[in-house]
Amino acid sequence: MKKLVLAALLSIGMIGFAQNQQDKQKLTVEQRNEKNLQKLTSELNLDSKQQKQVGDLLASRSAEMQQWKMTNKDRQTKPSTEERDAMKQQMKERKLSNNNKMKAILTSEQYTKYSANQEKRMQKMNDRKNKNHTDKEHHEDHNE
């Protein structure tokens, strides 16, 4: 009986996880922008003027990323070290530009909170990346 309950819970969990992954993939660019805008609105208590400005910024940023993806979509070879460095520099410049635009839209208190939230997100992403990297190394060590 315990095994049956455990199997049922496991399968429900897997179905829920798979559904969550599908939901993430189904969102259009506009839906993702709207979701991000709603999140920023609640986190930073944006007024209607700020919501419009941030929404425009998110749309502009998404359009830039779509253009970049389309440009690099058919690439047959990996970028050279110089090309990768140039791409990294472009991304840094875009990030700085976007941060400056957000700074112009938000109050100083809101921008401080926004920056702190961005740092938290980056830390989570780095933690996941490092965890995946160490998991791969650990897996490779056992295969040798």
Question: Tens digits of per-residue pLDDT, 81-120?
Answer: 998 898 899 889 999 999 999 999 999 999 999 999 999 9
Nearest by Cα to 114 from 32, 62, 61, 122: 122
Give the pLDDT of residue 23.
Answer: 55
What does the alpha-carbon distance between residue 144 and residue 141 come to, in Å, rounded to a whole number?
A: 6
Question: Which tokens belong to 68?
Answer: 């970049």
DSSP state of 80: P
The pTM of this model reads: 0.67
Report how far apart the first and last C-alpha atoms of the chain are (Å, whole number).
40
What does the alpha-carbon distance between residue 46 and residue 109 come to, in Å, rounded to a whole number?
A: 12
- Name the pLDDT band for 80 (thresholds 50, 70, 90): confident
| Mean pLDDT along residues 130-136 | 69
Nearest by Cα to 112 from 65, 123, 120: 120
- Name the pLDDT band for 68 (thresholds 50, 70, 90): confident
